[in-house]
Structure 1
Amino acid sequence: MAEWEVHAVKYADRNARQRRDSFVFDDNHDAPHAMDYFMWLLRRGDQTILVDTGYDDAEAALRGRPIRMDPRHALAPLGIAPEDVTSVIVTHLHYDHAGGLHLFPNATLHMQRAEMAFATGPCMCHDALRAPFSAGHVCEAVRRLYNGQVVFHDGDAQLTEGVSVHRIGGHSRGLQAVRVMTSAGWMVLASDAAHFYENLLARKPFPIVVDMQDMLDGFDTLLRLASKPELIVPGHDPLVRSYYAEGVADHITRLDPGPIREVLS
């Protein structure tokens, strides 16, 4: 089976966080706990797939959460122009994962049917469930649907040779992880099925949750999908950048060869 390159592209961070923001069950809630924000770029020959899109300066200003670079500029060292992106896997529609959909106008979106239903349905009547979404991003997904640029999946689906998506839920109703064949084996981009290694390895749920059981069961799914646990890549953990080698720029990390040192256990 053909192997893919996998690049983690950091575009933002939030360092003024505490452990209470990352773990439901923890005995040191006031301790600092930083978060990185990533997109992921899959490449095999001339075929590319973008996983999530980050968010832009307008959303950053709206939420008071600055970004370090525009997602389009963050991808530039990889030789990726926004108009050349034709396939985007949307792991879920939260602002930090789908806030840049409009930046890639030619892309067809791959998302779970459950996520669109969740983001446009009665659950959005609740402030707590609606908070991580922005109406403009959801409307952009709907516009793509009416333009014939959305492919829905219902659970597990293979997109192309060596790349598949798998509905996890938990954090958002239609959250999906991405499984990709690499030279190191089957790698799983967990996205927010595991924000941090500690969520997964210590079974500590993340506080933003729709279905706690789905989140906890999702940890087992991630472990089942990966060739080995160290090939599970959390969605927001700064440790990713120390476990894997630096890529073509200092904000890009090359994942597909596997970790360069032992992953936290």
Structure 2
Amino acid sequence: MKKISVMLLGLFISCLAISQTTTPYEVYAIKYGSLVHDSLAVRKENDSVSIDFMVWLIKGNGKSILMDAGYLYSFVSARDFDMIDDFRPDSTLQKLSIRNEDITDIILSYQHLDHVNNIDEFPNAQVWVQKDDYNFFTTTAWQKGGVNSEFNRKEVRKLIEVHTNGRVTLVEGYNKEIIPGLKMFPGSRQPVLPQCALVKTDLGNMALASDNVWIYYNSSFVTPAPTFGNFDANGYIKSMQRMQMLVADEKFIMPGYDSASFSKFPVITEGVIRVR
């Protein structure tokens, strides 16, 4: 009887530990810039959407996780975006009293410079990248006949350096839980699409869509995002259809750039919302 009691106690402690590691996360969107022209045409000239650039903070379970790291406007290629109200993505985190060194993890959803450029500004962050994406970005894309539209060699060197410093974890597989309560879903493999992050929140699963869904229009009408270097339109559609099945409410499929997000959810401070 004593042995059984000890076993039950051990099981209880084990279950308690598991529940503690899967406490629902808080998710914040933090804007760090907007397009100068303030809009992206959707179907016709008078039907447009305002575009913001943002990073996503996933907070809980002793972690402060970023979905992508943004870019520095001082980086010459970034100026092609023609931005206004531009701030360093890391400095915008100060609005939530988050310092660079507080960031524990960065989920790299894509290798365009607005996702990867700032990864070296977070010295304690472990960077999570799909293995196939890493190999494509650092090797295949640059071989003869490779597709490297909108990729940048400086970003390749930066990601490789972070990797050689032991701060990159390569992820393999679909529906992969990389951190308790947080999963990654790779896109199409023709040759590569942005990743989607599925986050456990107190209101159910939330999908951070990154470039898979630029604006709400894309997921509402299941049409591909106008991503630079759109490799596979059907892949984008399939990715959106998966996200629709993974969330309880489609309002929790969060587009990567739609300024309407900042009027749909509670404002914490200027340029910061909590998605709930």
Q: Could you say which TM-score interval applies, normalised by the shorter chain? A: 0.7 to 0.9
Offset, 1:15: 4.1
Instruction: Tell which has more relative contact order, 1 or 2 (C-alpha 8 A, sep 6+).
Output: 1
Question: Does structure 1 conserve the Cα–Cα contact (< 8 Å) formed by 2:138 and 2:160?
Answer: no
Change over 3 Å in CA distance of 1:191–1:126 after alignment to 2: farther
Match of 1:246 among 267, 271, 274: 267
Q: Would the aligned equivalents of 1:18 and 1:30 in 2 still touch at CA under 8 Å?
A: no
How much does 1:126 deviate? 8.8
The 8 Å contact of residues 30 and 55 in structure 2, kept in 1 or not, is answered as yes
Q: Which has the higher helix share?
A: 2
Q: Partners of 1:62 and 1:71 in 2: how far apart?
A: 13
Distance in 1 (alpha carbons) for counterparts of 2:217 and 2:244: 14
Helix, strand or coil at the partner of 2:170: strand
Residue 60 (structure 1) shift: 5.6
Q: Which residue of the partner structure matches residue 38 of structure 1?
A: 54
Gaps spanning 5+ residues in structure 1: where?
Answer: 259-265
* Identity %, equivalent residues: 24
In the TM superposition, what are the counterparts of 1:94-243 in structure 2 within 5 Å? 94-124=112-142, 129-154=147-172, 155-169=174-188, 173-208=192-227, 209-243=230-264
How far is 1:45 from its partner?
A: 4.8
Deviation (angstroms), 1:215: 0.8
Residue 13 of structure 2 corresponds to which residue in structure 1?
A: none
Amino acid at match of 2:198: R
Query: Which stretch shifts more, 183-192 or 165-174?
Result: 165-174
Deviation at 1:109, TM superposition (A): 0.6
Q: CA deviation at 1:30?
A: 6.7
How far off is 1:46 after superposition? Answer: 3.0
Contact 1:14 1:36 in 2 (8 A): yes
2:212 counterpart SS class? coil
Q: Specify the alignment match of 2:74 in structure 1.
A: 58
CA contact (8 A) 2:193 2:236 kept: no
Instruction: Report the Cα offset of residue 34 of structure 1.
Output: 2.4
Which deviates more, 145-154 or 3-12? Answer: 145-154
CA 1:150–1:174 in structure 2 vs 1: closer, same or farther (change >3 Å)?
farther
- Please give the alpha-carbon distance, in whole angstroms, between the structure 2 residues aligned to 1:158 and 1:70: 30
Question: Higher Cα Rg: structure 1 or 2?
Answer: 2
Task: Kindly indicate whether the alpha-carbon contact (under 8 Å) linking 1:56 and 1:100 is maintained by their aligned counterparts in 2.
Answer: yes
- Deviation (angstroms), 1:161: 2.0
Cα shift readout 1:43-81 (whole Å, capped 9, x = no counterpart): 115321111111012226653434621112100121211
Q: Aligned equivalents of 1:78 and 1:37: distance in 2?
A: 17
- Whether the 8 Å contact between 2:140 and 2:146 is mirrored in structure 1 is no
Q: 1:18 to 1:245 in 2, by over 3 A?
A: closer
2 CA distance for matches of 1:124 and 1:227?
Answer: 40
1:60 and 1:169 map into 2 onto residues whose CA distance is: 30
> In structure 1, how many angstroms separate the alpha carbons of the residues matched to 2:109 and 2:128?
8
Which deviates the most, 169-178 or 135-144?
Answer: 169-178
Residue 57 of structure 1: SS of its match in structure 2?
coil
TM-score of the pair, normalised by structure 1? 0.85
Q: How many residues matched?
A: 250
Q: Where does structure 2 lack aligned partners over 5 or more consecutive residues?
A: 1-21
TM-score, normalized by length of structure 2? 0.82
Relative to structure 2, which stretch is displaced further, 133-142 or 68-77?
A: 133-142
Q: CA deviation at 1:12?
A: 0.9
1:13–1:19 Cα change, 3 Å: closer
